[in-house]
Amino acid sequence: MPLKFEGEVMSPEEQKRKEMGNKDPLRDKLEIELTEEDIEIIEEAEEALEKKWKEPPIKAGEVFHPEEELKNVLAFPKSERKEALERYKEKLMYQKEGLAEMQEELIKRIRQNPNEKTDELLEAVDEFAEVYGLTPDQVSATGDMLCEYKVKRAHLLNFLSEYPDDEERFKILFGAEPKGEIEVIEGPMTIFFRCKNAEDFERIYFQYRFLEEGDDYKLTKEEKKRAKEVVGAFIKNCRIGELKGTVIIENNAAGRPLEDPESQALYEHEEQHAMYDMMKEEMQFGKAFRELQEAGGDDKKTEAAIVNFLKERRDFWADSAKDEILAYMKGGHRSVKDIIKILSRRRLAGGIYDYYAMDKQSILDVAKNDFTKIVPKEPAEIEKMTKKQMNKVYDRKEFDDMLEKGIDAYIKLWNAFEDKIDNPQYKERIIAMLEREPLKRWPLVAKRLIEAKEKRKKN
């Protein structure tokens, strides 16, 4: 059943189709079998992505340091630099895919056994390090992330034990008595609040507004309308600092049982969102702290470390946007205008994808409260330096352009393969390829697939 995740808006026609079991007489033609030609187009594209790894660019046991390697490449004579740069890019992409695969594996194991020993998980990390040339810093950051997971889980279990009543849990975390029935589900490192009352859902969904404006804040009509459009979300804000980034919510006015396929899929999607967020953040912050420590107070090195950190945060938000676009793709086709509107809506207008607005203050807080512990500079100086670089790196127009081009690439793919894309096998394979590519490369992926299709038409 198609799912409606954070911010997805259904038209009356879509809602009607959903109630009818998502049948649309105008699109019966989509339920056709794939031809050999269709499969070959996809297989050729998959092979193009896979063939470069038949001989791994990083040998077993080799350590690939991206920053050091790039410096070496740039030192090559101009005549040799292009070839060296191509080898560097292959190694970098290979290692990035390895890191992504490692995160997938760790999440899978944590979900299967939340109490698996850290040493056992670290053994898996060592295996990935051997194959993908992970650096000691990358391995160390992953270890820090696993320790952070254990700490968060301990805080979560302590909270659930101290407050066994679901209504009390709601009050402690969100600053108000619930008005309706609340159901709380424990995850490996998440608390899943299923709300039957609209006001309770709004209270959690817009928790950041109550934290900013005070508990007497009255939600605007636009904010209330926005909350009605949402079925589920991963929320980073609550009243207990140790539990920030652990809250998942569901708007369950319909009273669906937890076993309902839609509730299950929503829970899995948002839980994965929370776990990815924790993993990526921990690795980014760990790297930033090491670079700042190595800078030793030197202005240029400190500034460079801050810029590197901000660029990684920017890429992190691009990945988050990609994840949400893929969620829409898996749930069903939407117009490019609808998706762009949802994902580019500003925070002040009730948007929950305004990543830059949400991130800016938290980054400045980290700069003042954490960076200053390892950089021998005054908090005001570090904050000023961070703010200056943030204004350069966090280019909202560039982000919106990337969103628009990425979504447009998806729409072009949809149009090119419209007669087949609803076939689950075909659709999943296209989505799998897009999942492996950064959002900014989607236009190129779409172009190659469409050109392959057009070429076959001519032959």
Q: What is the pLDDT of residues 7-57, one digit of tens each?
A: 333 333 333 334 444 333 222 322 334 455 555 555 565 565 555 556 788
- Residue 250's φ and ψ, nearest 5 degrees, are -135, 135
Supply 261's token pair.
Answer: 């396929």
* Residues facing residue 186 across a β-bridge: 191
Q: What percent of the chain has pLDDT over 70?
A: 76
* Mean local confidence (pLDDT), 147-151: 90
Q: Which helix (H) or strand (E) holds 251?
A: strand 247-251
- Name the one residue in this structure whose structure tokens are 């904050």: 383
321-368 pLDDT, tens per residue?
A: 787 777 666 655 455 566 666 676 666 665 656 666 767 777 888 888
The whole-number pLDDT of residue 363 equals 83
Q: How far apart are CA 455 and CA 245, in angstroms?
A: 48
202-221 pLDDT, tens per residue?
A: 999 888 788 878 888 998 88
* Mean local confidence (pLDDT), 154-177: 95
Instruction: Give the C-alpha distances (Å, rounded to integers) separating 236 from 82, 270, 333.
Output: 44, 12, 28
Query: What is the pLDDT confidence band of residue 119, given thresholds at 50, 70 and 90?
Result: very high
Mean pLDDT for the chain?
A: 79
Supply 82's token pair.
Answer: 């292009």
357-411 pLDDT, tens per residue?
A: 767 777 888 888 788 888 888 888 888 898 888 888 877 788 888 888 888 887 7
The whole-number pLDDT of residue 17 equals 35
Other residues' Cβ atoms within 10 Å of the Cβ of residue 313: 24
Higher-confidence residue: 379 or 177? Answer: 177
Is 339 in contact with 444 (CB distance < 8 Å)? no
252-295 pLDDT, tens per residue?
A: 988 999 889 888 888 887 887 788 778 777 777 777 788 888 88
The whole-number pLDDT of residue 353 equals 61
CA 242 to chain centre: 21
- Residue 37's φ and ψ, nearest 5 degrees, are -65, -45
Q: How far apart are CA 329 and CA 442, in angstroms?
A: 14
Instruction: Give the C-alpha distances (Å, rounded to integers) separating 155 from 149, 160, 168, 207, 311.
Output: 10, 9, 17, 20, 31
* Mean local confidence (pLDDT), 415-424: 59
The whole-number pLDDT of residue 35 equals 52
Question: Does residue 59 carry a pLDDT above 60?
Answer: yes
